[in-house]
Structure 1
Amino acid sequence: MTTSFADHLRTLPDESLAALLQLRPDLVVPVPADVSALAIRAQSRVSVARALDGLDQFTLQILDAARLTRDPESGGTATEAILALATSGPHPPAPAAVRGAVNRLRALFLLYGPEHDLRVVGGVDEVSPYLAGLGRPAAELDPRAAAVCTDPAKLRRTLLAAPPSARAILDRLAAGPPVGTVPPGALEAPATGEEDVLPPDLVNGGAATGSPIRWLVEHRLLVRMSAVKGGGSVELPREVGLLLRRDTGPLGPLRTTPPEVSTPPREAKSVDSAGAGQTMEVVRHTEALLEALAAEPAPVLRSGGVGVRDLRRLARGIGLDDATTALLFEVAYAAGLVGELDLTGSVTTRYGGDQQILPTGGYEVWRAASLAQRWEQLARAWLMMTRQVGLVGQRDDRDRPISVLSAEAERAGAPAARRSVLAELADLPPGTAPTPEEVLELLDWRAPRRARGRETAHREVLAEAAQLGVTGLGALTSYGRLLLAELSDADERAADPLGLHSEAESGEPSTAVRALDALLPAPVDHFLVQADLTVVVPGPPDPALAGELDVVAEHESAGGASVYRVTTASVRRALDAGYSADDLHALFRRRSRTPVPQGLSYLVDDVARKHGGLRVGSAGGYVRSDDEALLTEVQADKRLEALAFRRLAPTVLITPYQVNRMLTALRDAGYAPVAEDAGGAAVLARPKTRRAPARVHAAGRTLDPLAAPRLPMPRLLGVVEQIRRGDAAARAARRAPEVVRGTRKGPGPAHTHSDALAVLQQAVRDKALVWVGYVDAHGATASRLVRPVSMGAGYLRAEDERTEMLHTFALHRITAAVLED
């Protein structure tokens, strides 16, 4: 099979091979040495599984049809046989749809060969052992089951005699997969003289039929595969499954298009309005969360993450539930707005008991941006982060709660799950708001292998998208559609692999930001001061106004119009921040569109009059002595001017520097100071031995795995050319003449290193072209067609025939040398 597939690849033009590499980019990581290596990789289990994961349900069913119609002897099938099997059901698909699915499979080289002799690549049977959800033939499972299945009339009679509960089990297994797990005791017969204590079959009129699974196994409709303490697993023979599918066809129900959405569409303007309103709430709550962290940072648990108590404290502070707060926390961390601060001053690690979570320097830049730009940064981080927030609050494998930012919530497939769900919404007409069940049905048809077992994660994506404002009223918003298109534009990334023309570099807002800006109310730079000292902002405040209000007023309510209140504490906070009374009066006169109330002016003046009556400062250390003359000498000493001593009392000097530095300076100046504790007792201590901080060894560092590259067609054609050259070198090596002592002695390849050197010496003398096989610095094998120039000192110098460049090869790395025919 491998040789036949490789020979088929060799007959294809370069454009067809490049198209294969473009559809399956994992085949070029790394670049195969020749066509045989490409064929082996294309049939490997991992590569075939990746190709199958991207196929829809109908295309997978057509692939199963090709597998079911294979000739047992030759292993081939035909397009007409696939078409006949696919259209044999009660609701046959259009022949054009079947042929289109076959062409897609041939483009991916899951099927190859001419239409009258199609072959299935070997890896498909390993990845998907059950054809069309059917079990193996009865002859491969059990001879007694095969005896029942070979008699169609007996098989129908046995099937009709099955109790309703047993028939329900058969119907579930016939839909696929055909294997099931049996609970303990379900296959054990009652002891002699004892009655069957299993409950009666209520569906069968109350008649006691015992265990339905045991009935099916005893009548050979199910085959027991393994036994574990009375249980185990069972498998449905293929003949029984085909008989149960007589109403739907051998492949089951065939649906060529995705399921339709029955939910009535919503008005696109209403969807955008609802989503835009939610984006304002998301930005406001995120800012409130970060301000709460700035006021009281959250400690990092030694096991990683933020504790439940701190999460609940933050949730109460911003008025949200724990789940929404956890989502905003994770998104802000992914956006780079919060991070860990190491309190010990040692090497920073990801987790530890001496770390705190608080806003980063990027938070100030984020606050200064527009509302739409702030939301876009959060939405992009949510789409790209490898965190499944829905796991927060659940239990891990060791029955411990999963906390925010803990490693247990890491899921590498989270970004792909978000992209797949939003891609389904983007494929629907604008304003379409499917239910979660309809979205799951769409995903199950679009990529059943990927969607299987991820229903919970997909439901979480829909809920998070609504909370973040990506969707509105259940439908994808216009700006959300633009954001998803920007992130999914593979052609733009291929044309600009270095990101030289990215929007972030140009400084212009993205199309999603511009679309959201048009939906949001314009920011205002003024407010309305009322007689009760409340300040009303008639719209979203611009960053400068918001920063001033955070200092001079207390926030009371948010919405279309935000309400603040000027209090004694807020005025004192403004004065502490550096404002003077005149500055506050000027601020209210400049920003207010209403006359400033007299009570507000009196409040500012009263608080300013009392501000600064008491002075509080800090000192790094002090020097006290009962000898006032000695302190006067110390203060006047020119050598100690750097300590900036200031006299608080006749017997006390203070300095802004720490005690250790002061002790060292005094001792260097010839004094004999002694440190004391808070009670005045002398402190004598042995100096500590200093050690360098621990470093992470370079061998212990890990790199993120690289994804398969999306190369443009010109690059792929170059890769195909390299593969062709390697294949030509391998074929030439197999039929190259054997060279011994410079003379040819019959056909045969140069197997030894000495033979290769003899060929190169002959090529240097004759100035002939030669294929050189060598091992590069990375350990990969390669070949090159060159014209040798000289050979000596352990190196071969040769000119590349195609690029006309001079290359140097180490002789010990050359593995083969074949003269060009």
Structure 2
Amino acid sequence: MTTTSLADFLRALPDEELTALIRLRPDLVIPPPADFSALAHRAQSRVAVARALDALDQFTLEILDALRYTRVGHSSSVESVLALTAQSGVEAARVRAAIDRLRAYAVVFGPDAAVRIVGAVDEVCSPYPAGLGRPAEELDPLAGALVADAAGLRRTLLAASPAARAVLDRLAAGPPVGTVAAASLQPGSDSPVRWLVDRHLLAVVGRDAVELPVEVSLVLRREAGPLGQLHPDPPPMETPRRDPAQLDRAGAGQVLELVRNAEALVEAIGQEPPGVLRSGGLGVRELRRYAKTVGIDEQQAALLVEIVTAAGLIGEEIVDNKRVESVFLPTVAYDAWRAFGIAARWHRLAVAWLTMTRAPALVGQRDDRDRPINALAPELSRPGAPAQRRAALQVLADLAPGETADPAAVVATLSWRAPRRISRGTSAGIEASLAEAAFVGLTGFGGVTGFGRLLLAELAAEAPDPEDPLGIGSPEGYALSGSAALLDTLLPAPVDHVLLQADLSAIVPGPPEPTLAGELELLGQQESASVYRITAETVRRSLDAGYSAADLHALLARRSRTPVPQTLTYLIDDIARRHGGMRIGSANSYVRSDDESLIAEVLADRRLQQLGLRRLAPTVLACRHTPNRLLEALREAGYPPVQEDSTGAAVLARPKARRGAPRPTWAARGVEDPTAAVRLSAPRLAGVVDQIRRGDAAARAARRAPVTVRANGASGASHTEALEVLQQALRDKTRVWVGYVDAHGATASRLVRPVSMGSGYLRAEDERTEMLHTFALHRITGAVPESEA
């Protein structure tokens, strides 16, 4: 088979079938090929064929093996394959459908009587089609003599011991080659393999390898058929059924936990920014600390930190340019993310998990240098992770709503749907993906939730913008739709009130609305998902941010559906009365207070001796440190100071949060297939097909067009006549074939439409590439109108 034959097959395809091929194999047109010869060359390259076969199911690959096995010369036939599969009890329509699927992928081509297989298939597939070995005569003349005697072959097989028969059955199932210990093949050995070799049922093909002749395999497969056991259907799957609403409720509950834990994790990172390791990851101790803070285990913390980083909520900031040291920090996108509702926040996290090229399940394992793999480390990059997640979830999504399946059943189904792809991985990766999907809230009780099913459909229809998956940058802002809108109906409505208790706790009877969440973050210390504790420290924090005692009383009265405890009122008044009784300014800095005893207490406090305080007056202390450093030290010692400006007015403001630059989003990087994230629209597909056909027509015409001038039927015309042809084409605005010598001295020709000619140059447009070319007139060797080429 040659490239030209495949090119002719592709050239003869209708536009609809060619478009379908490009949809199935978009890697063939990235970048768009010049013509059908280039397209055929790509389609039968080793890498492209391997990628196409990876997308085929087990039965289709078995039929491909049948075509390879029945091939005579360069082609096979559909009838010969049907004759073999009929012995296995497979319907002819299903076999023809599998062959049509192979044609749709351009793995095979040609009419039913002469089906050809692209050459690279033999390079990327097993050398033993259908698990059958070579003929006995080719392996060993004595083996050939044995299989020629059908009765003798049956008697020899019947004489085999159970151990020897087990070896034969194993090799008959394929592949037909096996390795054994060299001692087992030595003459005189009592091993079953030696017995089979002595009876010529096996042939020695190496120092420690044996092969089963194809004739013996066919006898052993007489019940299943020459091709062995075929698998036209996926393995049966047990699918216990639950109420779909139950799955949705379970997923919605996990969504609340995910969003709350993600926010708690990012806040913890913002309060104590961890350093970036030299390897680019997050330290083990920091991960353990954050897991304890959030209330999840370390493996879940690793998954969560990977998700929030992929979602652009965590970034980096360089703190030392000389030593190139960085820390992890929340990003500006985190502030925008917090302003949305829970459904919108979940949507961003879920999309980030589905599309990120990371494998969080590997955190804690050892790399090839026996070093532990840290969270956020480059070693976690796995280009095939997004495809694996979607494939595993798609198995569940293909079930009826409410049906569930265990991970082992999902692995078995995937092994049938894409055996080549699954064989390169392990079931552990798929099971980890399903566990992560439950953590994200896409599944519940082993089944896909309704909003999870919608999200998978959305991603399959159109890839989201990895830089703005929520549409924050759009003028209209973000509006809930699809999966997020469905989830929003399942979540409890956001509440705008709390229930104050006598023990100074505030119970939030549902997810707080963004404004209330901000107020609670300042006024209380979160103890659980719905409980905040109000303490003297949190009241002081609110006063430092600019609230007055009256503001806090009004806030609690407005937000609480229960009476405000009297103890809380007294606490606020007491803290407010003492708040600001001490002032800090610039001396470099100073401390002043109307309370002389308080100044004396500060001066005598041993915890503050490192500040070097000295008394300037009964109510004033001076310090060599900056006001911010002094303010921080006094607050750590338990004093309630506030800063003042040059006029003596108190400076009250919430501390400015540090923000880092987001890491390059892993969701936008390449995946296992460089084209897996490509969604070619219908207009673009039509344009690609048209471009290939125009380019092919131009290439075929170029092969027929002469390079030298041909004017008035005479070849080798003068350079002046070539210029006349160009001038006429310029006036008529027609296309012309131009022959020229390039800068390397090679001759070439190009079909162009002249635009202008002067100053020693021809400027012409190539309509196929939509580019403007400039030719030096002295390099032009000929010009022929398109109509005469």
TM-score (ref. length: structure 2): 0.80
- Report what 1:576 is aligned to: 544
Q: Amino acid of the residue matched to residue 50 of structure 2? A: A
Instruction: Return the offset for 1:715.
Output: 3.7
- Report what 2:680 is aligned to: 711
C-alpha separation between the residues in 1 aligned to 2:135 and 2:237? 38
After superposition, residues 656-695 of structure 1 pair within 5 angstroms as none
Q: Amino acid of the residue matched to residue 751 of structure 2? A: L
C-alpha separation between the residues in 1 aligned to 2:13 and 2:391? 34
C-alpha separation between the residues in 1 aligned to 2:364 and 2:340? 33
- Report what 1:280 is aligned to: 256
- Show structure 2 runs of 5+ residues with no match: 591-613, 629-667
Which of 244, 265, 268 does residue 244 from structure 2 map onto?
268
Q: Amino acid of the residue matched to residue 763 of structure 1? A: V
Q: Amino acid of the residue matched to residue 434 of structure 2? A: L
TM-aligned CA distance change 1:251 to 1:329, over 3 Å = same
C-alpha separation between the residues in 1 aligned to 2:139 and 2:742? 51
C-alpha separation between the residues in 1 aligned to 2:6 and 2:422? 31
1:464 aligns with 2:436: yes
Secondary structure at 2:328 match in 1: strand
TM-aligned CA distance change 1:181 to 1:512, over 3 Å = farther
Deviations 1:746-774 (A, max 9, x none): 8xxxxxxx999799447337648533478
TM-aligned CA distance change 1:593 to 1:395, over 3 Å = same
Deviations 1:726-764 (A, max 9, x none): 434444444445747978678xxxxxxx99979944733
Which deviates the most, 296-305 or 8-17? 8-17
Which of 97, 102, 110 does residue 99 from structure 2 map onto?
102
- Report what 1:673 is aligned to: none
C-alpha separation between the residues in 1 aligned to 2:359 and 2:768? 52
- Show structure 1 runs of 5+ residues with no match: 197-208, 623-645, 659-701, 747-753
After superposition, residues 134-153 of structure 1 pair within 5 angstroms as 134-139=132-137, 141=139, 145-153=143-151
After superposition, residues 166-565 of structure 1 pair within 5 angstroms as 166-180=164-178, 182=180, 187=184, 189=186, 209-210=190-191, 212-213=192-193, 216=196, 219-227=199-207, 234-345=210-321, 354-454=325-425, 455-490=427-462, 505=474, 506=476, 507-558=478-529, 562-565=530-533
TM-aligned CA distance change 1:273 to 1:36, over 3 Å = same
1:602 aligns with 2:573: no
C-alpha separation between the residues in 2 aligned to 1:107 and 1:53? 14
Which gives a bigger RCO, structure 1 or 2 (Cα 8 Å, sep 6+)? Answer: 2
Native 8 Å contact 1:552 1:573 kept in 2: yes
Q: Amino acid of the residue matched to residue 78 of structure 2? A: T
Q: Amino acid of the residue matched to residue 93 of structure 2? A: A
Secondary structure at 1:340 match in 2: strand
- Report what 1:25 is aligned to: 26
- Report what 2:736 is aligned to: 770
Instruction: Return the offset for 1:476.
Output: 0.3
C-alpha separation between the residues in 2 aligned to 1:158 and 1:616? 103
Native 8 Å contact 1:770 1:817 kept in 2: yes
C-alpha separation between the residues in 2 aligned to 1:274 and 1:122? 51
Instruction: Return the offset for 1:265.
Output: 1.2
Deviations 1:659-695 (A, max 9, x none): xxxxxxxxxxxxxxxxxxxxxxxxxxxxxxxxxxxxx
Which deviates the most, 53-62 or 396-405? 53-62
Deviations 1:473-521 (A, max 9, x none): 100000011111111105x88xx99999979734211311111111111
Q: Amino acid of the residue matched to residue 506 of structure 2? A: V
C-alpha separation between the residues in 1 aligned to 2:485 and 2:778? 61
Secondary structure at 1:5 match in 2: helix
Native 8 Å contact 1:729 1:771 kept in 2: no
Native 8 Å contact 1:760 1:770 kept in 2: no
Instruction: Return the offset for 1:251.
Output: 2.7
C-alpha separation between the residues in 1 aligned to 2:399 and 2:432? 20
TM-aligned CA distance change 1:220 to 1:413, over 3 Å = farther
C-alpha RMSD over aligned residues: 4.0
Native 8 Å contact 1:223 1:234 kept in 2: yes
C-alpha separation between the residues in 2 aligned to 1:20 and 1:802? 22
Deviations 1:311-350 (A, max 9, x none): 2122222221111111111111111111222210459xxx
Instruction: Return the offset for 1:575.
Output: 2.7
TM-aligned CA distance change 1:527 to 1:346, over 3 Å = same
Native 8 Å contact 1:392 1:403 kept in 2: yes
After superposition, residues 748-759 of structure 1 pair within 5 angstroms as none
C-alpha separation between the residues in 2 aligned to 1:807 and 1:224? 65
Secondary structure at 1:557 match in 2: coil
C-alpha separation between the residues in 2 aligned to 1:142 and 1:77? 27
Native 8 Å contact 2:588 2:623 kept in 1: no
C-alpha separation between the residues in 2 aligned to 1:741 and 1:245? 68
C-alpha separation between the residues in 2 aligned to 1:769 and 1:735? 16
Instruction: Return the offset for 1:571.
Output: 2.3
Instruction: Return the offset for 1:113.
Output: 1.6
Native 8 Å contact 2:237 2:409 kept in 1: yes
Instruction: Return the offset for 1:372.
Output: 1.1
Secondary structure at 1:342 match in 2: strand
Which deviates the most, 247-256 or 430-439? 247-256
Secondary structure at 2:32 match in 1: coil
Q: Amino acid of the residue matched to residue 331 of structure 2? A: T
Question: Percent sequence identity over matched residues?
Answer: 58
C-alpha separation between the residues in 1 aligned to 2:212 and 2:110? 33
Deviations 1:623-678 (A, max 9, x none): xxxxxxxxxxxxxxxxxxxxxxx9968998969699xxxxxxxxxxxxxxxxxxxx
Instruction: Return the offset for 1:399.
Output: 0.8
Q: Amino acid of the residue matched to residue 111 of structure 2? A: P
C-alpha separation between the residues in 2 aligned to 1:497 and 1:583? 42
Which of 118, 123, 127 does residue 115 from structure 2 map onto?
118
C-alpha separation between the residues in 2 aligned to 1:572 and 1:467? 37
After superposition, residues 601-680 of structure 1 pair within 5 angstroms as 601-615=569-583
C-alpha separation between the residues in 2 aligned to 1:806 and 1:554? 67
TM-aligned CA distance change 1:64 to 1:535, over 3 Å = same
TM-aligned CA distance change 1:421 to 1:797, over 3 Å = same
Q: Amino acid of the residue matched to residue 111 of structure 1? A: V
Which deviates the most, 331-340 or 251-260? 251-260
Secondary structure at 1:771 match in 2: strand
C-alpha separation between the residues in 2 aligned to 1:773 and 1:146? 63
Instruction: Return the offset for 1:611.
Output: 3.0
Instruction: Return the offset for 1:801.
Output: 8.4
Deviations 1:556-607 (A, max 9, x none): 333xxx1222223332333333332222211211111111111111122223
Secondary structure at 1:251 match in 2: coil
Native 8 Å contact 2:243 2:402 kept in 1: yes
C-alpha separation between the residues in 2 aligned to 1:142 and 1:577? 91
C-alpha separation between the residues in 2 aligned to 1:173 and 1:619? 90
Native 8 Å contact 1:647 1:654 kept in 2: no
C-alpha separation between the residues in 2 aligned to 1:171 and 1:367? 62
Q: Amino acid of the residue matched to residue 22 of structure 1? A: R
Instruction: Return the offset for 1:397.
Output: 0.6
- Report what 1:131 is aligned to: 129
Q: Amino acid of the residue matched to residue 580 of structure 1? A: S
Secondary structure at 2:531 match in 1: strand
TM-aligned CA distance change 1:392 to 1:160, over 3 Å = farther
